[in-house]
Amino acid sequence: MAAATSQLTREKIRAAWIFLVPMMLVLLAVAGWPLLRTIWLGFTDAKLSQPGSGQWIGFENYLFWLDYGEGDGEWIGLLADPTWWRAVWNTVYFTVIAVTIETLLGLIVALVLNAEFAGRGFVRAAILVPWAIPTIVSAKMWDWMMNDQFGILNDMFLKLGLISAPIAWTAQPETAMIAVIIVDVWKTTPFMALLILAGMQMLPGDIYEAAKVDGIHPVKVFFRVTLPLIRPAIMVAVIFRMLDSLRIFDLIYVLTPNNAQTVTMSVYARQHLFDFDNFAYGSAASTLLFLIIAGITILYIYAGRLNLSGDK
């Protein structure tokens, strides 16, 4: 019996590798090589306007002491650039706020969609419309809605007495990041709700019937039964959204261009890659972006596994 089980296990592993190897080869070709190329360019002086450039300069794009003589000098490079660290802070701030709100709202929407009511199929389809709209279209649509002269949001808030004067939502430093978060939450909350709802659909109905028979309050059932069981689904949803948020570019590039309050790591890297003709410096920024995203993701997954194993 043990030998048969071992043989079956080996066949399953072999079949898994047969399906995985082609995908891994394609992934290595379309993602691995460009990543390695970007990392290498970060150690050179390559410029987009000079195709033949690309001499090895080591870590000068990251951190380099520029000696002025007589003991004077300064640190220059990516790690000494306050604009880069501002972009890092903007990215992390946006990710934490936006993903937290989207997770909470997505959980609420998933609970509603998981209930039995007339027209549930239509509501499930309608709730995905914001997520299905391309990001560029969503950003441009909200840009018009938030316009300080003819935007519908200012018109509504003025009529309700919530504001005394029109607000330039995407232009003012105080409201630019708020505007970006609002648009992102509107667009991607359905995605979070969809993933969490998929986790809820997998829960057995027997436990809820037993809780109903025992007269347990629905709120207690949610916190003691539903939430622990869908925690893996929530973790997956948060990881997907966190990866997407940490590399956000298109929404900010269209909605709040040239605004220092909303420049993220991706926007910063793009500016140096193409706008400033400093391809090597932009490649270094892209490399750090990859390392930061990879580090945060690994830490989150590790913490989540510790949490799940602790619950067991």
CATH number of residue 145's parent domain: 1.10.3720.10
Q: Angle of helix 173-201 relative to helix 82-114, nearest 10 degrees? A: 40
Residue 108 forms part of a structural domain: yes
User: What mean pLDDT do residues 147-156 have?
Assistant: 91
- Spatial distance between the Cα atoms of 163 and 181, rounded to a whole number of angstroms: 20
Residue 311: the pLDDT is 60
User: Which among 128, 132, 170, 172 is positioned nearest to 153, based on CA atoms?
Assistant: 170
Residue 113: is its pLDDT beyond 70? yes
Asked whether the predicted pLDDT for residue 312 surpasses 70, the reply is no
According to the model, what pLDDT value does residue 27 have? Answer: 85
Residue 24 lies in a domain: no
pLDDT band at 209 (very low <50, low <70, confident <90, very high): confident
Measured CA to CA, the distance from residue 90 to residue 173 in angstroms comes to: 12
pLDDT higher than threshold 80 for residue 53: no
- Nearest of 301, 299, 311 to residue 227 by alpha carbon: 311
Residue 180 has pLDDT above 80, yes or no: yes
What does the pLDDT average to over 145-157? Answer: 91
pTM assigned to the model: 0.88
Identify whether 241 is part of a domain: yes
pLDDT, averaged across the chain: 89
Q: Is residue 264 part of a domain?
A: yes
- Provide the sign of the torsion angle of the four alpha carbons 271, 273, 275, 277, taken in this order: positive
Inside any domain, residue 10: no
Q: Is residue 4 very low, low, confident or very high in pLDDT (cuts 50, 70, 90)?
A: low
Identify the pLDDT of residue 288.
95
Higher pLDDT, 235 or 65: 235
Q: What is the pLDDT of residue 117?
A: 83
Give the CA angle between residues 23, 24, 25 to the nearest 5°: 90
Q: Looking at residue 245, what is its pLDDT?
A: 94
State how far Cα 218 lies from the chain centre: 32
Classify residue 71 as left (phi > 0), alpha (psi -120 to 50) or beta. left
Q: Is residue 301 part of a domain?
A: yes
Q: Measured between alpha carbons, how far is 281 from 137 in angstroms, rounded to an integer?
A: 31
- Which two tokens mark 13? 């592993």
282 within 8 A of 272, measured Cβ to Cβ: yes
**What's the domain range around 218?**
81-311
**What type of residue sits at position 115?**
A
- Give me the percent of the chain exceeding a pLDDT of 70: 96
Judged against a pLDDT cut of 90, whether residue 49 lies above it is answered with: no
pLDDT band with cut points at 50, 70 and 90 for residue 237: very high
Bigger pLDDT: 14 vs 189: 189
- Distance in Å from the first CA to the final CA of the chain: 30
Which of 26-35, 52-61, 63-72, 183-192: highest mean pLDDT?
A: 183-192
The residue-averaged pLDDT of 57-65 equals 91
Q: Measured between alpha carbons, how far is 59 from 43 in angstroms, rounded to an integer?
A: 6
7 by Cβ neighbours in 10 Å (0-12 / 13-18 / 19+) ranks as: exposed
295, part of any domain: yes
* Mean pLDDT for the stretch of residues 224-229: 88
Strands 72-76 and 64-69: antiparallel
How many domains, the chain? 1
pLDDT of 186 strictly over 60: yes
User: For residue 156, is it within any domain?
Assistant: yes
Distance CA 153, CA 182 (A): 12
Residue 8 has pLDDT above 60, yes or no: yes
Mention every residue, 6+ apart, whose C-beta is less than 8 A from residue 255: 139, 142, 143, 170, 179, 180, 183, 262
Residue 308's pLDDT is what?
60
What count of residues does the chain have?
312
Residue 143 near residue 255, CB atoms below 8 Å: yes
**How would residue 309 be classed by pLDDT, with cut points 50, 70 and 90?**
low
For 149, the token pair is: 């002269």
